[in-house]
Structure 1
Amino acid sequence: MPELLWFGWALLGLAAVIVGLSKTAVPGAGTVAVAIFAAVLPAKQSTGTILLLLIVADIFAVLAYRRNANWKALLGLAPAVIAGILVGVLFLFFADDVWVKKSIGVILLVVIAVTLFRRRMGGPVADEGPHRLAAATYGTLGGFTTMVANAAGPVMSMYFLAMRFPVKEFLGTAAWFFAIVNISKVPFSIGLGLITVPGLLIDLVLVPLVVGGALLGRWLAGRMNQTLFERLVVIFTVVGALYLLV
């Protein structure tokens, strides 16, 4: 078992609860958990360790919202996401961690600004052309950011927000998206040395907290109105982006 001080374990426990909540109630909050893991553990180890916890939370999210996914949107995203993941794998061989984090932070802030501007101006959401362009753009960015920093939550939250999905459709589509993407990342993460034995031991301790957070999120989601939900998504996305820039 890795040697961590008590407050290190406390922070990881808080992050584990946030991971569960982010999957079943507040998309985008997962970036806060990523930040905590990166602060407590070595960078590469933190990426692989939290990935497995994210997959556990993904399973609970899929079970909770499996009937609410928009499969047309998911299939439209697939080619761009795959391309983004492959670019991310190559990028990890050459990029400096600090530079990567700041780049992703800039990308997230631009995505937030464009999304909110389109919503305020009543941007086109029903035309096939804009949908395809948005799917290609957000999908590529999502695949890239999830591979290099487990930070696709804010990117994809902005896409689903731009598509104006109701709360449960938003959560169901996001649940299936991240379950498929995160599982597909496991072989790459093992090959890159991101998943380690010490990380697996940490996961064994934290899994119950992830499950508790996911169940709490499921309870909260049923009591959250659309306006509050969208505001929380934007707030946590901005927080995550700013963290990556600092």
Structure 2
Amino acid sequence: MDTFEILLMLTAGIGMGFSLMGMSTAIVFSPILISIYGSKLGNGIMFIPFLIADLYVSYLYRKNYDKKIVLKLIPFSVVGMIIASIFATYISEYIFRKIIAIIIILASILFFLKKYEDKLTKLSWVFGIFGGASSYLANVSGPIFNIYLLSYKQNKEDFIGTRAIFFTVINIIKLFMYIFIFKNINSFTISRGVVAIPTIFLGVFLAKKLLKIINQKTFNTIIVFLGLIVAIKMLL
């Protein structure tokens, strides 16, 4: 591993930390990693630090999560991951990312139209299946799940806690799928992923400081707009 890769992973770690707190900063580091290592290896490199950091954030917010939402969403997400694993060789990642982008944009519009915001909570199967599939194939599920969770009108702490617990469970399941099916967890991806772990904690720390000075309405708006930026980036 050369100096460039080390600096890249350390920088990506900070972005991952912010991403774990609900801010979709993956738009910055994910495309860079995938452009350098390819989609399969890029996802594998990001996975281990994400899993470890998810466990950490879950511990921090262990008293701030909604168990019913997590249990409601997980089965559909697992179905989405299974579908993705079966059709991974047949699905064009290019087309898939366009579909996910359109879903994020439509959901974001409905979220801002307060008349429909509450109705998004009834679409757990849509968000779960497409979110699970996008998590397995491209690690771009954050904006999809963010909009779904925000539709429950949780406060910032409960949103982060529910999100962290949910992703921890999903990533533990995905770990076995990545090892035995997708086969992108190996010495190469692990050796690069672990470099990002220290700066992930820095990113989480900085994000926590930032969230303390942001009110709830601003927080919700930032989360959805960041998701929209991700979606537009995926469409272009």
Aligned residues of 2:64 and 2:157 also touching (Cα < 8 A): yes
Counterpart check, 1:19 vs 2:49: no
Q: Equivalent of 1:224, from 204, 214, 218?
A: 214
Q: Which residue of 1 aligns with 2:61?
A: 65
What residue identity is the alignment partner of 2:188?
A: P
Q: Distance in 1 between matches of 2:128 and 2:84?
A: 13
- Segments of 5+ residues of structure 1 without an aligned counterpart are none
Q: Equivalent of 1:35, from 31, 53, 61?
A: 31
Q: Equivalent of 2:105, from 105, 109, 121?
A: 109
Q: Which residue of 2 aligns with 1:136?
A: 125
Counterpart check, 1:211 vs 2:185: no
Q: Distance in 2 between matches of 1:61 and 1:245?
A: 31
What residue identity is the alignment partner of 2:206?
A: L
Measured at CA, do residues 219 and 124 of structure 1 come closer, stay the same or move farther in structure 2, by a change above 3 Å? closer
RMSD (CA atoms): 2.0
Q: Equivalent of 1:180, from 157, 169, 178?
A: 169
CA deviation after TM superposition for structure 1 residue 200, in Å: 0.9
CA deviation after TM superposition for structure 1 residue 48, in Å: 0.9
What residue identity is the alignment partner of 1:171?
A: I
Q: Distance in 2 between matches of 1:79 and 1:104?
A: 19
What residue identity is the alignment partner of 1:229?
A: F
Q: Deviations over 1:96-133 (max 9, x none)?
A: 2222222222222222222222x2x2x373xxxx4763
Q: Distance in 1 between matches of 2:117 and 2:179?
A: 41
What residue identity is the alignment partner of 1:242?
A: I
Q: Distance in 1 between matches of 2:165 and 2:33?
A: 24
Q: Equivalent of 1:189, from 178, 182, 186?
A: 178
Aligned residues of 1:15 and 1:36 also touching (Cα < 8 A): no
Aligned residues of 1:22 and 1:30 also touching (Cα < 8 A): yes
When normalised by structure 2's length, the TM-score is: 0.91
Aligned residues of 1:20 and 1:210 also touching (Cα < 8 A): yes
Counterpart check, 1:152 vs 2:137: no
Aligned residues of 2:178 and 2:184 also touching (Cα < 8 A): yes
CA deviation after TM superposition for structure 1 residue 169, in Å: 0.8
Aligned residues of 1:35 and 1:243 also touching (Cα < 8 A): no
Give secondary structure in 2 for the equivalent of 1:78. helix
CA deviation after TM superposition for structure 1 residue 46, in Å: 0.1
Give secondary structure in 1 for the equivalent of 2:184. coil
Aligned residues of 2:44 and 2:185 also touching (Cα < 8 A): yes
Percent identity over paired residues:
23
CA deviation after TM superposition for structure 1 residue 157, in Å: 0.4
